[in-house]
Chain A
Amino acid sequence: MYELDMLLKGFQTLLSQPFALLLSVVGVAVGIVIGALPGLTATMGVAILLPFTFGMDPLSGLLMICGVFFGGIYGGSVTAILLKIPGTPAAAATAMDGFELTKKGQAGIALGTATFSSFLGGTFSVLVLIFLAPVLASFALEFSASESFALAVFGLSIIASIAGKSVIKGLIAGFLGLLIATIGLDPMGGFPRFTGGYTELFSVPFIPVMIGLFAAAEAFKAMEDPAVRNGAAAMLSRIIPPWSTFRRILGTVVRSSGLGTVIGMIPGAGADIAAFVAYNEAKRFSKTPENYGKGELAAVAACESGANGCTGGALLTMLTLGIPGDAVTAVMLGALTLQGLQPGPLLFREHADLVFTLFAGMLVCYVLMLVIGLSSLRVMGRILQMPKSVLTPVILALCIVGTYAINNSMFDIAIMLAAGVVGYFMQKWDFPASPVVLALIMGPMAEANFRRALSLSNGSYDFLYNRPITAILLIIAGFTLLFPLVRGFMRRSKAAKGATRDAALAPNPAGGAE
Chain B
Amino acid sequence: MSHSSPSDNSPSAHSPSNDGHSGLSRTDRLANLIIAALVIAVAIAAIVATGDFPATSLATDVGPARFPIIYAVALIALCTILIINTLRKPVTEAEPQDTTGGAGRFASRVNVAVGIGLTAVCLIGMTYVGYAAATVVYLSSVMWLMGQRNKLLNPLIAVVVTAVIYITFSTGLQVPLPVGSLFE
Contact across chains for B112 and A194 when beta carbons are under 8 A apart: no
Min distance, Cβ B123 to any Cβ of chain A, angstroms: 5
Contact across chains for B3 and A410 when beta carbons are under 8 A apart: no
On chain A, the residues within 8 Å of B17 by CB distance are: 165-166
On chain B, the residues within 8 Å of A135 by CB distance are: none
Contact across chains for A223 and B111 when beta carbons are under 8 A apart: yes
Contact across chains for B143 and A389 when beta carbons are under 8 A apart: yes
Contact across chains for A390 and B46 when beta carbons are under 8 A apart: no
Contact across chains for B147 and A165 when beta carbons are under 8 A apart: no
Would you list which residues of chain B between 3 and 36 have a CB under 8 Å from chain A?
A: 3, 5-12, 16-22, 28, 31-32, 35-36
Contact across chains for B161 and A459 when beta carbons are under 8 A apart: no
Min distance, Cβ B84 to any Cβ of chain A, angstroms: 10
Contact across chains for A221 and B58 when beta carbons are under 8 A apart: no
Contact across chains for A410 and B123 when beta carbons are under 8 A apart: yes
Min distance, Cβ B10 to any Cβ of chain A, angstroms: 5
On chain B, the residues within 8 Å of A191 by CB distance are: 53-54, 64
Contact across chains for B123 and A417 when beta carbons are under 8 A apart: yes
Contact across chains for A176 and B3 when beta carbons are under 8 A apart: no
Q: Within the complex, which residue of A189, A294, A393 is in contact with B142, where a contact is CB–CB below 8 Å?
A: A393
* Stretch of A241-249, A329-337, A351-359, A420-428 that contacts chain B: A420-428
A4: interface (CB < 8 Å): no
A220: interface (CB < 8 Å): yes
Bitwise, B120-144 to A at CB < 8 A (1) or not (0) is: 1011001100010001001100110
Given A179-B72, A427-B10, A454-B61, the answer on whether A417 and B18 have CB atoms closer than 8 Å is no
Min distance, Cβ B109 to any Cβ of chain A, angstroms: 8
On chain B, the residues within 8 Å of A398 by CB distance are: 165
Contact across chains for B169 and A405 when beta carbons are under 8 A apart: yes
A77: interface (CB < 8 Å): no
Secondary structure dominating the interface of A: helix
Contact across chains for B119 and A417 when beta carbons are under 8 A apart: yes
Would you list which residues of chain A between 168 and 198 have a CB under 8 Å from chain B?
A: 168-169, 171-172, 175-176, 178-179, 182, 186, 188-189, 191, 193-194
Given A172-B79, A390-B148, the answer on whether A397 and B161 have CB atoms closer than 8 Å is yes
A462: interface (CB < 8 Å): no
Secondary structure dominating the interface of B: helix
A383: interface (CB < 8 Å): no
Contact across chains for A103 and B5 when beta carbons are under 8 A apart: yes
Contact across chains for B71 and A387 when beta carbons are under 8 A apart: no
B82: interface (CB < 8 Å): yes
A231: interface (CB < 8 Å): yes
Q: Within the complex, which residue of A179, A223, A228, A488 is in contact with B43, where a contact is CB–CB below 8 Å?
A: A179
Contact across chains for B178 and A454 when beta carbons are under 8 A apart: no
Bitwise, A395-406 to B at CB < 8 A (1) or not (0) is: 011101100110
On chain A, the residues within 8 Å of B168 by CB distance are: 37
Contact across chains for A454 and B31 when beta carbons are under 8 A apart: no
Given A182-B67, A220-B116, A223-B115, the answer on whether A168 and B49 have CB atoms closer than 8 Å is no
On chain A, the residues within 8 Å of B19 by CB distance are: 165-168, 488
B56: interface (CB < 8 Å): yes
Contact across chains for A228 and B32 when beta carbons are under 8 A apart: no
Contact across chains for B60 and A454 when beta carbons are under 8 A apart: yes
Contact across chains for B9 and A496 when beta carbons are under 8 A apart: no
Chain A, interface size category, equals 35 or more
Instruction: Name the CB-closest residue of B to A196.
Output: B49
On chain B, the residues within 8 Å of A227 by CB distance are: 147
Contact across chains for B115 and A186 when beta carbons are under 8 A apart: no
Instruction: Name the CB-closest residue of B to A421.
Output: B116
B57: interface (CB < 8 Å): yes
Q: CA of A227 to CA of B79 in the docked complex: distance in angstroms?
A: 37
On chain A, the residues within 8 Å of B32 by CB distance are: 429
Q: Within the complex, which residue of A219, A389, A425, A451 is in contact with B61, where a contact is CB–CB below 8 Å?
A: A451
Contact across chains for B71 and A175 when beta carbons are under 8 A apart: yes
Min distance, Cβ B19 to any Cβ of chain A, angstroms: 5
Give me the interface of A with B, judged by CB distance under 8 Å.
Answer: 34, 37, 40, 48, 100, 103-104, 165-169, 171-172, 175-176, 178-179, 182, 186, 188-189, 191, 193-194, 216, 219-228, 231, 294-295, 387-390, 392-394, 396-398, 400-401, 404-405, 408, 410, 413-414, 417, 420-421, 424-425, 427-431, 447, 451, 454-455, 457-459, 488, 492, 495-496, 499, 513
In the complex, 17 of the A-B residue pairs with CB atoms within 8 angstroms, ordered by the A residue number, are: A40-B173, A48-B174, A176-B75, A186-B53, A221-B8, A223-B115, A224-B112, A388-B146, A389-B143, A389-B147, A393-B142, A393-B158, A397-B161, A429-B35, A451-B62, A454-B62, A459-B59
Additional pairs, 12, CB under 8 Å, beyond known A48-B174, A168-B85, A294-B2:
A179-B75, A193-B68, A221-B112, A390-B157, A392-B146, A404-B131, A404-B178, A408-B176, A410-B126, A420-B116, A430-B18, A492-B21
